[in-house]
Structure formats: C-alpha cells, structure tokens
Amino acid sequence: MNNNIKDIFLIILGSLLFGVCRVLLLEDISFIKQAPKSISDNELVNMQFDAPKVVTISQCKQMFDQKSAFFIDARDSLLYDEGHILGAINIHFESNDDDQILSRLEGVKENDFLIIYCSGGDCDLSEELGNHLFEYLGYRNILLYEGGFPEWKENGYEINFRK
C-alpha cells in the first residue's frame, strides 16, 4: 500500500515536471490565466490598458452619467429584452461571429471605454467577451463590471426593457 502511494506521488510529480517543461517550450503561455485586476479612479483616465480591468458600480455609474463609456450587455437577447442598463448594446458572445460583433459596435472607436457586464455572480460571459474584444478585435479600453445587471437594478439606476 505504501508503495502504491509512492508510485501515485511519482506519477503526479512526473506529470508536473513534463507539464512545466511543456509550458517553458511554449511561446504562447496565454493559457496561464490571471484574474482581471481592479482599476483606481485615477487610472480610469489613462488609455490603452494592458488587459481588461474590473470596475466598481460607483465607477460605472459615474461613467454612465458622464456618458464617457459604452455599455455592453453580454447576456443572451431574451435576458436583454427583459431588462438592461439604459443604452447598453447587446452582444451575446456565443451566438455572434466577429463580423456581427463589429457591426454592433459600429461607431465605437478602439480607444473608447467599453463597460461589459452580464448577470453578476459566477457569470463569466462578460469576461469572455471582454477578453475576445481585447485580444482579437483591437479594443484597448475594456472594463468589466462584475456586479452586472442585478446589482445595477437593485441600486435603482437607469434601466430599459423591450416589450
């Protein structure tokens, strides 16, 4: 039995060793994921972020009032129709290809602030869309609003819905 545990440990250690060697050989190590970082109010004026950043509800509300950012709703169209942040553009990542995404973002410049949100909690649609816009479509100022639509609505901020 002791030998068995030793062997299990050996196999796992060997896998770790080979895995690390594989990572060192790879040129693209983007699969090593990092959590998006929060951004301070001072940094919000800087352009060209190095990665999508996380914003708080107060930062969102401020940019909403100043009309200094475009809001993007990353949920599916049914949820969007039931209610969304006023003026938000609906882009559901899974059901849109790049051409459709770009056509929805017509008039949005690459340096404009884009605040992307979904349903809050463990919803990662906004993060997936944000990473895609940042890495493949050239949008440099991606902000992720993790509280999402439920938090916005709870605070009684401006919403809109389609009947």
The answer to whether 23 contacts another protein (rule: CB under 8 A) is yes
Using the rule CB under 8 A, which residue among 27, 50, 99, 122 binds another protein? Answer: 122
Q: How far is CA 77 from CA 64, 125, 130, 131, 136, in A?
A: 22, 13, 18, 20, 23
Task: For residues 160 and 158, give the distance between their C-alpha atoms in angstroms, rounded to a whole number.
Answer: 7
The answer to whether 51 contacts another protein (rule: CB under 8 A) is no
The answer to whether 19 contacts another protein (rule: CB under 8 A) is yes
Size of the site for another protein (CB under 8 A): 25
**How many CB atoms are located within 10 Å of the residue 53 CB?**
19
Give the chain's count of helices (H) and strands (E).
6, 7
The answer to whether 67 contacts another protein (rule: CB under 8 A) is no
Q: Which of 73, 77, 71 is nearest to 59 (CA)?
A: 71
Cβ proximity to another protein, 28 vs 99, nearer residue:
28
The answer to whether 7 contacts another protein (rule: CB under 8 A) is yes
Task: For residues 8 and 17, give the distance between their C-alpha atoms in angstroms, rounded to a whole number.
Answer: 14
Stretch that binds another protein, among 8-16, 47-55, 61-69, 144-152 (CB under 8 A): 8-16
What distance, in Å, lies between the first and last C-alpha atoms of the chain? 66
The answer to whether 20 contacts another protein (rule: CB under 8 A) is yes
The answer to whether 14 contacts another protein (rule: CB under 8 A) is yes
Cβ proximity to another protein, 14 vs 138, nearer residue:
14
Q: Using CB under 8 A as the criterion, which residues of the chain lie in contact with another protein when the complex forms?
A: 3-4, 7-8, 10-12, 14-16, 18-20, 22-23, 26, 28, 30-35, 122, 124
